[in-house]
Amino acid sequence: MEPFVYNALPARVVFGPGTLSQVGHEIRSLGCSKALVLTGPSQSKKGEALRADLGDVSVGLYSNATMHTPTNVTDEAVELAQTLGADCVVALGGGSAVGLAKAIALRTDLPQIVIPTTYSGSEATAIIGQTENGLKTTQKTLKVLPEVIIYDVDLTLSLPAEMTITSGINAMAHAIEALYSTDSNPITDMLAEQGIARLASALPILSKDPQNTEARSDALFGAWACGSCLGVVSMALHHKLCHALGGTFNLPHSETHTVILPHAIAYNTPFAATAMAKAARSLGTASAAQGVFDLAKNLGAPYSLKQLGMKEEDLERALDVVMKSPYPNPAPLEREKLLGLLRDAYEGKRPI
């Protein structure tokens, strides 16, 4: 066994069907009694229903959580939390709602209970990404780690098929980068392989049968496992590319991860062969890069930046953002090769 360092993150996870009913108990267990519920616009009705269920332990609802966590949206939400005297936040939704809860916690230290309805995995990390003036930046701090994560399998049954696929592949990205991270370790490797395998087996089932509760449960567990990996290791090229594309050009989050991931894997494979062999084995394919690409394309997910509305003339500008503050990465970050990666992703070419 090679030497390694592993820093476990403190977290309480409540997993299963119907666990939304336990939110009130979890609020009180934190010593709180004035929760501000957070959702995005599409989840506002569910947020109102949760508020009603919580009764007097909820003081309000903020329903404008926005993709890539713009700082001006956080400004509004923090002001509302302070006006209402909230002593905790409860986020219900995908990565946007979770990101807003984290941004509020970063500024106010309010405890967080998060209830993911997608497979983003952000809830399991102490990482926050925020966008200001078209630039998305990230930081890692325990201040943004949620105190409680409630995974309710029932809440994922209504997740549309395409979002199920792209959200699931986004989750896989966390685990695949963890396998070749500069601080990878045997514990996260095991979690990563299990998370990838659960998602790889569940997503094809869910593309045909979105109401399959067993596959939903497997996918949600896989998302937690993958997110937990990212929570304790460093991000690399894949996430840097996605943050640059999403924050600067406002591309959709999970779809961008879905498009970029196979190309980032292909770029790194010659310098991380062992790690990518583990990913391929978990996917049940000979090639991790081609396995992810084929999974996305065969299940009807977008597989090119062109499909997401990216303009070819903006690829150079995206690369400028990436090169200004690169993340540690197994393969050297060479501008021309990275431009080739982005061009392949733009065209939707199957990785070699």
45-82 tens-digit pLDDT? 999 999 999 999 999 999 999 988 999 999 999 999 99
Taking only Cα atoms into account, the Rg of the chain, rounded to an integer number of angstroms, comes to 19
Domain limits, CATH 3.40.50.1970, in the chain: 12-156
Q: Please report, for residues 95, 134, 225, 298, the alpha-carbon distance to residue 305 in angstroms, rounded to integers and kept in the order given.
A: 20, 18, 27, 17
Of 147, 148, 165, nearest to 156 (Cα)?
Answer: 165
Query: In the predicted model, what is the mean pLDDT of residues 234-261?
Result: 92
Q: Which CATH superfamily is domain 161-347 in?
A: Dehydroquinate synthase-like - alpha domain (1.20.1090.10)
Residues 6+ apart with CB under 8 A from 97: 38, 39, 40, 43, 65, 91, 114
Sign of CA dihedral 325, 327, 328, 334: negative
- The predicted-structure confidence for 27-48, as pLDDT tens digits, reads as follows 999 999 999 999 999 999 999 9
- The predicted-structure confidence for 11-21, as pLDDT tens digits, reads as follows 899 999 999 99
Report yes or no on whether pTM surpasses 0.75: yes
Residue 17 three-state SS: coil
Residues 6+ apart with CB under 8 A from 60: 36, 37, 51, 80, 84, 86
Q: What's the pLDDT at 137?
A: 87
Indicate the average pLDDT of the chain. 95
Query: What residue type is assigned to position 1 of the chain?
Result: M
Overall fold of domain 12-156: Rossmann fold (3.40.50)
Query: What residue type is assigned to position 301 of the chain?
Result: A
- The predicted-structure confidence for 194-210, as pLDDT tens digits, reads as follows 999 999 999 999 999 99
| Ordered alpha helix ranges (H), the chain | 23-29, 44-54, 71-84, 95-108, 161-180, 186-208, 213-232, 237-249, 253-268, 273-283, 288-298, 315-324, 335-347
How many CB atoms are located within 10 Å of the residue 278 CB?
Answer: 21
CB-based contact 269:352 (threshold 8 Å): no
Which band of pLDDT confidence, cut at 50, 70 and 90, is reported for residue 138? confident
| Share of residues in the chain with pLDDT > 70 (%) | 100
Q: What's the pLDDT at 343?
A: 98
Q: Kindly report the three-state secondary structure assignment for every residue of 305-344.
A: CHHHCCCHHHHHHHHHHHHHCCCCCCCCCCHHHHHHHHHH
Rounded Cα gap, residues 75 and 109, in angstroms: 15
Q: Would you say residue 327 has pLDDT above 90?
A: no
How many CB atoms are located within 10 Å of the residue 307 CB?
Answer: 13
| Ordered alpha helix ranges (H), 32-70 | 44-54
- The predicted-structure confidence for 161-179, as pLDDT tens digits, reads as follows 999 999 999 999 999 999 9
Query: What residue type is assigned to position 322 of the chain?
Result: V
Please name every residue paired with 139 in a beta bridge, in sequence order, or none if there are none: 128
Which band of pLDDT confidence, cut at 50, 70 and 90, is reported for residue 121? confident
Domain limits, CATH 1.20.1090.10, in the chain: 161-347
Task: Name which residue leads in pLDDT, 250 or 281.
Answer: 281
| Structure-block tokens of residue 124 | 């399991």
User: Where does residue 15 rank: exposed (0-12), middle (13-18), buried (19+ CB within 10 A)?
Assistant: middle
